[in-house]
Structure 1
Amino acid sequence: MNRFPTAAHLVSWAKFCPQVHASAGKTKNKGRGGGNPWLAATPGNIAAAAARTDTFLGARYRRIARRRGKQKAIVATGNTLLTIAYHLLTDPEARFHDLGADHYESRINKERHARNLATQLQAATGQKILIRNGKAVILEPEAA
């Protein structure tokens, strides 16, 4: 593993990251590079299997697949798998600890999320909405 200075170098060598071609100020996504099909199939198969599990990798796959599609989610999850493998192989003291399927949910600030939703609702309806003690309060417009 000394051949790869960082995990990103390993992922790039394995061709398990998206390519971007830029010319004349325009960028085009070109999918993944060619690389070794046997090497690319392994993280892809593991990512597809992990998608059906109740783990951090399964949650990551489902979160990305919902927004970007299944194929991009497999590439992103495979990228994460290779990054984990790199860190486990380079550091003999490292141990794998799954973050859990609720990792992303636990990192969301509930109050900020409620304020953002209230702001969106206020923009859509035109009503003044405040969040007080965890409850949405609709303020009546003052008579002028």
Structure 2
Amino acid sequence: MLLRMMLDNIDRLTDQITTLERNIEELVVPFCRQVEQLTTIPCVGRFTAAELIAELGVDMTRFPTAGHLVSWAKFCPTTHESAGKTKPKGRTKGNPWLGATIGNAIGALTRTQTFLGARYRRVARRRGKGKAMVAAGNSLLTSVYHLLSDPDATYQDLGPTYHDTLINRDRRARQLAAALEAVTGQTILIRAGKAHIADTDQAA
């Protein structure tokens, strides 16, 4: 009897979910163009796009820049100033429904070979998963803003190696060489992009 009741509950909930999904599909018809634009973002499906539109709307003129949208959604770091001292503070509470939608999308992106996935992993290694979620959510909302602001815009993924292209390789090599010198006590020279351990006479 209990199993039958559980199965009946599952069937009832499944019917309710189907009804809600059908209703969402009908309500989002006037915004089909925006839905198609948003689904060009990796791991953003039709229902995620519908949730974003439900919480943000499609009129981005209310936000002068993408930064204003990100700030309104509370997907940016904040600072607390007291007695002349400024301290970093975590993300403040924003729209919980929008936050959950962004969080689910980023959760699906974390292991993908995409710009947003790489951004999450890059920040998570240095700052932790919480700050990585905010950083990737910031980038995702920025993309959403530009897509909804321009009817002809489509999402162009920058790729997982985009951040590497921004690194000044010569400067980074010098920094790593200096760090190695501090640890090993050896003199390391960078020549033609390669590291060489120099003896005392060469270093002189």
Q: Which runs of 5+ in 2 are unaligned?
A: 1-59
SS at match of 1:49: helix
Equivalent-residue separation in structure 1 for 2:115 and 2:137 (angstroms): 13
SS at match of 1:2: helix
Residue in structure 2 matched with residue 55 of structure 1 by the alignment: 114
Q: TM-score, normalised by structure 2?
A: 0.63
Larger radius of gyration: 2
User: Structure 2 matches for 1:1-144, cutoff 5 A?
Assistant: 1-142=60-201
SS at match of 2:200: coil
Equivalent-residue separation in structure 2 for 1:32 and 1:114 (angstroms): 34
Residues 109 and 15 (structure 1), Cα distance of their counterparts in 2 relative to 1, 3 Å cut: closer
Segment of structure 1 superposing worse, 43-52 or 24-33:
24-33
Residues 48 and 129 (structure 1), Cα distance of their counterparts in 2 relative to 1, 3 Å cut: same
Segment of structure 1 superposing worse, 66-75 or 100-109:
100-109
Shift of 1:67: 0.6
Equivalent-residue separation in structure 2 for 1:75 and 1:20 (angstroms): 14
How many pairs are equivalent? 142
- Residues 46-100 of structure 1 deviation map (CA, whole Å, 9 limit, x = unaligned): 1111112110000000000001111111111111111110011112232210001
2:177 aligned partner, one-letter code: A
2:173 aligned partner, one-letter code: A
Equivalent-residue separation in structure 2 for 1:136 and 1:28 (angstroms): 39
Residue in structure 1 matched with residue 42 of structure 2 by the alignment: none
Q: TM-score, normalised by structure 1?
A: 0.87
2:82 aligned partner, one-letter code: S
Equivalent-residue separation in structure 1 for 2:137 and 2:115 (angstroms): 13
RMSD, matched Cα: 1.7
Give the structure with the higher percent strand.
1
Report sequence identity in percent. Answer: 65
